[in-house]
Structure 1
Amino acid sequence: MNRTHALVPLPQRVLLLGGAVTLLTVPAAGAAGAAAQPAPPKTPPPAACVSANGGFEQPGGLTSAGNLRTDIPAWHTTASDGAIEIWGPGNAGANGGEVAADSGRQFAELNGTQVSTLYQDVATNPRTILVWRIAHRARTTTSDQKDVVRVKIGTPGALTVQVPLGQSSGDIADGGISWGHYTGIYRVPRGQRVTRIAVESVSSAAGSPSYGNFLDSVEIFCTPPCPKATKHSPRACDTLGLPIQPHQPVTPGVRPGHPVTPPGVKPVTPPAVPGAKPATPPYAPGAKPATPPYAPDVKPVTPPYAPDLKPATQPHAPDVKPVTPVTPVQKPVAPPIVAGTPLTPPSHAKPATSAGQTRPAQAPEHFADGYLIAPPDTAVPLPRPAR
């Protein structure tokens, strides 16, 4: 085998020919004029956990029903003829009515010419969480007549039936009125670099081996492996085994989304609009704005010298009445009563009789039982009339 190499400078040999010195350069054998050829590029490994052609849109441009193809990218079938049936727009009549795809324009029927399983292999990283989704529908025209499929995942030689979230069984059953959507998770075990995702036809309500189980919107994606729990994070994954996203730290005292006024700087007050209420600044939610002095419907704060306050009363205030001196009322002094002097009874007193004789009426203040009361309570006989 002839191998070519890049030209390499070789040491010159000095030959003595007939006493003359001649410099000859001797190149390497087989290398004159040959160019170096680059090594063939290495094929990159497939991306981990990436499914392809999940909507059966390739090859595109397929219409009506019953397109049996053997060139569907990424998908394989267990059918003996290797044919996968694709439906496209304009399929009315094949099923009694037009069936629209769940996503895109095309979808597949698992039972092409016989009961079969569709599958594809994807590269996976061990100990990651694989999440799968599919859309399924029966090839019937009622909701009661249902087709059944199952999702199987594992190594190419050992597949395990998967149970969709929210179900207790792996059977996925749907009628022919609308698409059913299902999601599940699969934990990739240690050392598993290739994982097979398969959808198996279980039964068809039509009862024919070439009818039933429409399939569309198949997708998978993987999450990083669940980290080990620590004393600071005892729950690293949720109940499904998916890693819990850490909460973003919140800086105390700072409200995001609101401008903060630097200390010592007063906010700019917008120009006043007559009759309009001032707007609350965005950095003080819920606070009542101070009433500016130009608001016409707001009463200003009364200063100490406001005219509606009554001033303190001074001695010279005109509304204070002067004190009028009160002259005491003096009662007339009654003349002294002399004992033995007859008294004239008052005009309102009635004459009193005693033992057939008349005696003067008693004055309320000076008479008591015919005797004149004189201080100090000495009884004075009344004068008798002359006979």
Structure 2
Amino acid sequence: MKKAITLALAGLSTTAFGANLIGNSGFEIAPTGTPAKTYGAFIAQYNEGDVDSWETTATDGLIELWNSDTEGVDFDVVAYEGNTFAEINATQEATLFQDVVIGAGIGVDYLFAHRGRNGEDTMLFTIDYLGENGNDAAVEAYSLQVTSDNDAWRVHYGNEVFTTTTETAGVYRFSYQAVSTSGGNLKEGNFLDAFASGEGVADDYPGTGSFVAVPEPSSSALLILSSTAFLARRKRK
């Protein structure tokens, strides 16, 4: 199901650090439908069409959401932000993603919280450029693979990992791909919460609270490579 693309710089949500391009970034907007599956009182899988802003590559189209009330019931896990978080491995190794339009001259920051379920889980975060109207083959603008244990949320953030230009303004896909889980179970692993991206969202991130803050360096080499790919694509049109 193709969802409406979030428009950059128009009606954006804000964090304490800047404007957030991502819709339903902490999974706090209640799903519109009833769960397709439930596991106890606090874990539910919803059809992706019922979950605001997010899509999945899972073949069954299910997105799994957890409630912080799981604390002391099945797992001692509290959402990093608010009361709800997602598990990328709902029924299989898949990718959660959403597409946004980013105008020219935006220095793109990102910030997200990741945590393992039963031990160390690994996921791949990517930002892909899909062209001016979102119809081109994906060109990678940024990627980061992270591994987190289940003892605390790891908050990963990067400042101005790339800056859009008039040539590279357009539709970008922000994706979280499950790579592996500690026990090898494709149905369990990779908790995700509090994703933000946009200009200034990671500025002066304080890194306080019950989690581990992990700053990530910007990749100028990747930026140059990506910019070259962008320009080459446009010249071929």
Q: TM-score, normalised by structure 1?
A: 0.40
Shift of 1:176: 0.5
Note the alpha carbon deviations across 1:223-254, whole angstroms, 9 max, x for none: 6xxxxxxxxxxxxxxx969xxxxxxxxxxxxx
- Matched position secondary structure for 1:220: strand
- Tell me the equivalent position of 1:173: 147
- Tell me the equivalent position of 2:81: 103
Native 8 Å contact 1:90 1:98 kept in 2: no
- Matched position secondary structure for 1:90: helix
CA distance in 1, matches of 2:148, 2:218: 25
Structure 2 residues without counterparts, runs of 5 or longer = 1-5, 10-19, 36-40, 131-136, 201-216, 220-237
CA distance in 1, matches of 2:21, 2:181: 30
What do you get for the CA RMSD once the two structures are aligned? 2.7
CA distance in 2, matches of 1:114, 1:160: 24
Asked if residue 202 in structure 1 is aligned to residue 179 in structure 2, the reply is yes
What is the one-letter code of the residue matched to 2:162? Y
CA distance in 2, matches of 1:127, 1:89: 38
Native 8 Å contact 1:110 1:201 kept in 2: yes
Pick the structure with more helix per residue: 2
Shift of 1:92: 4.9
- Tell me the equivalent position of 1:133: 111
Native 8 Å contact 2:31 2:46 kept in 1: no
| Alpha-carbon spacing, 1:159–1:217, altered in 2? closer, same or farther (3 Å) | farther
Shift of 1:186: 2.9
Asked if residue 219 in structure 1 is aligned to residue 196 in structure 2, the reply is yes
Q: Alignment identity in percent? A: 29
Asked if residue 89 in structure 1 is aligned to residue 68 in structure 2, the reply is yes
The number of residues matched between the two structures is 171
Shift of 1:113: 1.0
Shift of 1:99: 1.0
- Structure whose alpha-carbon radius of gyration is higher: 1
Q: TM-score, normalised by structure 2?
A: 0.64
Map 1:276-291; keep pairs closer than 5 Å: none
Native 8 Å contact 1:139 1:206 kept in 2: no
Native 8 Å contact 1:150 1:161 kept in 2: no
Shift of 1:162: 3.5
CA distance in 2, matches of 1:216, 1:64: 16
Larger RCO, structures 1/2 (Cα 8 Å, 6+ apart): 2
What is the one-letter code of the residue matched to 1:118? L
Native 8 Å contact 1:147 1:174 kept in 2: yes
- Tell me the equivalent position of 2:164: 188
CA distance in 2, matches of 1:136, 1:161: 21
